[in-house]
Amino acid sequence: MNLQHVDCWPLFYATSVNNRYQITTRKAKTNMIGQHKIIFTGPVGAGKTTAITAISDIAPFSTEQTATDETKEKKELTTVAMDYGSMRLDNGEMLHLYGTPGQERFNFMWDLLTDGSLGVIIMLDDANPDPLDDLQAFVGAFKDFIHNNAVAIGITRMELRKGLKLADYQAAMTKLDLNAPVFEVDARQHDDVMMLVQALLYSLDPGLSGEGS
């Protein structure tokens, strides 16, 4: 397969060899004023790829492959390296959007992708058997990053189960000593995803929270 290049910040090369992605980085450009980066993470099927697609100004880059393990029971394709999109904010600055793999066996990508990021959006699927356990797992996995950066939580598919309420997630976050915005979202809807992004950016700098074009 052909080499696929994403010219973004930081810069990644994603090479597919025998359907196995190899990710390497090269030194980022020095003139990157007005460039920002956020991460979407969460379990498989929570809506990370869909959310990036909903708000990206460009056709998103994805490393989805056919699922071959227990993941295939949830979805046919799964991200094995990263998703990438970008959008321009009202103030003219560029926001780069990265999605992590949801499977823990690809967690080496989590640290790689969070490097240089402003914050992380954790997507959770309320229809999963134990979404509060998913919340604890991902907050724990990113605790060092979250300690120094912004975080927002998006809950998808809440209409399917009618079980947990946002208050239940907020209570679980309190037990984890996490104070962050949490919203029910439809990852397919631009406005829902932008609400998450704006909440994340506003917690860092109100001047960054303008919606993209």
CB atoms closer than 10 angstroms to residue 56:
21
Helix ranges (DSSP H) in 23-68: 48-55
Whole-number pLDDT of residue 146: 95
Q: % helix / strand / coil in the chain, to the nearest 5? A: 35, 30, 35
Longest dimension (CA), the chain: 49
Q: Is the pLDDT of residue 139 over 80?
A: yes
CA 209/CA 211 separation, integer angstroms: 6
Whole-number pLDDT of residue 3: 29
Model confidence at 98, pLDDT cuts 50, 70, 90, reads very high
Model confidence at 24, pLDDT cuts 50, 70, 90, reads very low
Residue 10: cis peptide before it, omega within 30 degrees of 0: yes
Whole-number pLDDT of residue 20: 39
Domains of the chain listed by start with CATH number: 30-208 (3.40.50.300)
Structure-model confidence comparison of residues 78 and 161, the more confident one? 161
Whole-number pLDDT of residue 184: 96
Average predicted confidence (pLDDT) for the chain: 78
Q: Which residues have a Cβ under 8 Å from the Cβ of 100 and sit 6 or more positions away?
A: 39, 40, 41, 48, 79, 82, 106, 109, 110, 113
Of these ranges, 24-38, 57-71, 92-106, the one predicted with the greatest mean pLDDT is 92-106
Cβ–Cβ under 8 Å, residues 77 and 65: yes
